[in-house]
Chain A
Amino acid sequence: MDLSFSPQEEAFRQEVRDFIAEASPLLPKNLGTPEQARRSKDEYLVWHRLLYKRGWVAPAWPKELGGAGWSVTERYIFATETAKAGMPTTLPFGLGMVGPVIYTFGNEAQKKKFLPRILSGEDWWCQGYSEPGAGSDLASLRCRAVRDGDHYIVDGQKTWTTLAQYADWIFCLVRTDPNAKPQEGISFLLIDMTSPGITIKPIIVLDGAREVNEVFFDAVKVPAENLVGEENKGWTYAKFLLAHERSGLASALRSRAALMRLKAIARKEQLDGQPLVRDPDFARKLSALEADLMALEFTELRILSREAKGGKIGAESSMLKVVGSEILQRISDLAMEAVGYYALPHDLSLGDNEAIGPDYARGLASRYFNQRKVSIYGGSNEIQRNIIAKAVLGL
């Protein structure tokens, strides 16, 4: 056993740090502030474009398709350094979701048409999975696509579609065989968001931001060439994508950065004339949280090392999601507790009370409320536990 990195890996780390130092001044000023959730399309894309220029935008993609060509360890170093420096993350919908589906299951024409535009950021993708009646039970989805000559006609509704208001394309799970078993009649379709018959309706969430949307399809004509893989085999691709979505390593690193911010707040806040961080009750809660986080960091490293040796990540990603989401929620909770009464004016759904209380209190209540989503989305934590029970423990 050995926890150290090789000299080459350390040199790579320095390269990443240099890049971050150059990129930081070019990033939007509102990063890390409450307005972050209200970024414009362009603000979202600044980091993406900088990485693209450097050839680093797609760490996990194969090199010949425009990936960074990094080892698993280099990917981890990159994630560590960017998280530590508080850099944004690229959005997962193109790079982490539909991209891998297209290069794994799509045809040559689709790869040529879509992959370069995902890398460059020219196309913004959103995810058409959940429906009002199909959440945890995704396979019960009803949005229909009927083949009509060289087109499909799509009718139905998707929901919880993150940032659909900016999207150029949506990848959708649609039902193409209503008579088959639920999982066997689903196809994976790429739909141009400018197609006639698509309407988007915003959903405002607890922090007041328009983070998600409903997307309606009314007789939307989709060229048959936009079908990925085989008709009625979409569930296989959907599961592949979900596993990719969940394998987001380095959630512990993001939590580590959030914990550092929380500690900084606890050093500034007062309790009976002392810094809050010295209050035994608060200090104990901080330590308990950090102990769980440190264990999670090592759990991530163990999975990483297994992956580096060519192992496949399966249900471990469900475990990372459960632990990682609960830690994120606890950090947001303690941060809100740390600022006491001045948490209360900082519910952004009421507008930004910028000048009220200490500047670090801004957005903390909103973040706590918003973080409730992390145990719900991407497969609720109940579903993740079901997966572990079945796939890992054989229960």
Chain B
Amino acid sequence: MDFSFSEEQTLLRNSLSRYLADRYAFEDWRKFTRAGEGRDPAHWRQFAEMGLFAAPLPEAVGGLGGGAIEIMVVMEEFGRALAVEPFVSTVVIGGGLLAKSGGALAEEWLPKIAGGETVMAFAFAEAQGRFNLADLATTAKKQGDGYVLQGQKSVVLAAPWADQLIVTARTGGSQRETQGVSIFLVDKKGKGVSSRDYAVTSGLRASDVIFENAPARLIGEEGMALPLLEVIVDRAIAAHLAEATGAIAMLMNATVEYAKTRKQFGQPIGKFQALQHRIVDMYIAQEQAQSASLMANLKLDEPDGARTASAAKAALGKYARAVAEGAVQVHGGIGMTDELNVGHYFKRLVLLETLYGSPDHHLRRMAKLDQ
């Protein structure tokens, strides 16, 4: 058993964390997330040059042949920096789906993903569907040698920045059936696609997207995509868990530091036992969260990978909230301000708790997978 990182993985982490410290400080983040399109596209190009996007992709398509650990390393650092770049929807979801399904579409798009030449957003959620990936009212039907899409998707993260959308839709079956789910690649700027763009909490942007006879290209097999979808979403979950541990680490550091320096009643507030115990519980939650992220990432290809991902997602949601709410409480009034970074990590962790399913959703899935 060995939980240490390889030399290449450590190198990847160090170069990324150096870049983020220099170019992606909280004050920079505040500026670019609140102006114009809400991001600085220069970062995306830089990340491509650093090899972040190629790292987890197969060598045959221009990747570096890494996997979940490389993604985990990147996402931990992104979590520490509150990064907004859609690495997961582009590389983990887009890259993952295309690499698994192969074919001409994969040959065309994987090198572009590796090179940072495309931004992809994942349009899977629908208003009625909550967290059920199969609860789809969006439909696709064959037209010529392609398909056309009809329907509406909710809160598609990073869609305002994307040139391609990965869209789930029904080619058959009834609304929540396992059979009949397909996945498509859609040109965001193509005809039949319209969107309402907006800001979402913790500095991200999203869209509600409407498809009206929008031309779409099938990824993988028609009507049989749900199992693949679940596998890839579990990979996205594992990646976002790593992101959460990065944010948790920042909140823990800030809280311990504040408890040591903030003085009330003639001593640092960290000397008060009531606060000590709360902060210790936060620390235990941090360690448990780190374990949850690791187990999800390391077991993705194991037979119990899905159940482990759900267990980790549910557990980490609880730990993240304990750390985030504790961090604000220990900071007191100052933790309530927009000026301090604490509140923004808090908001990111709340977003990550919802993304791809609440703890309740994943506890139910865990139970189902056990039967």
Contact = CB atoms under 8 A, between A and B. Distances in A.
Contacts of A347: 199-202, 347
Interface in A330-368: 336-337, 340-347, 349-351, 353, 355-358, 365, 368
Query: 7 closest pairs, A vs B, by CB?
Result: A347-B201, A350-B199, A137-B264, A341-B155, A204-B338, A344-B200, A353-B198
Interface string A247-289: 0000000000000000000000111110010000110000000
Interface stretch (A66-74, A76-84, A306-314, A377-385): A377-385
Contacts of B129: 270
22 contacts: A134-B264, A136-B265, A203-B339, A204-B337, A205-B338, A212-B333, A271-B132, A272-B132, A276-B130, A281-B360, A340-B131, A340-B354, A340-B358, A342-B127, A344-B200, A345-B206, A347-B200, A349-B338, A350-B200, A356-B208, A372-B329, A376-B329
Interface string A75-113: 000000000000000000000000000000000000000
B189 interface: no
Given A272-B135, A345-B206, A136 B198 contact: no
A130 interface: yes
Chain B interface size, as a band, is: 35 or more
A345 B200 contact: yes
Interface of B: 34, 125, 127-132, 135, 154-155, 175-176, 196, 198-202, 204, 206, 208, 263-266, 269, 272, 274-275, 325, 328-329, 332-333, 335-339, 343, 346-347, 350-351, 354, 358, 360, 363-364
Contacts of A372: 325, 328-329, 335-336
Contacts of A365: 201, 347, 350
Contacts of A356: 196, 198, 208
Interface residues of A, number: 54
Nearest to B132: A272
Contacts of A355: 196
Contacts of A350: 34, 199-201
B122 to A, nearest CB: 12
Contact of A345 (B155, B266, B333, B338): B155
A344 B332 contact: no
A28 interface: no
A44 interface: no
A273 B200 contact: no
Contacts of B176: 272-273
B74 to A, nearest CB: 23
A373 interface: yes
Contacts of B135: 272-273
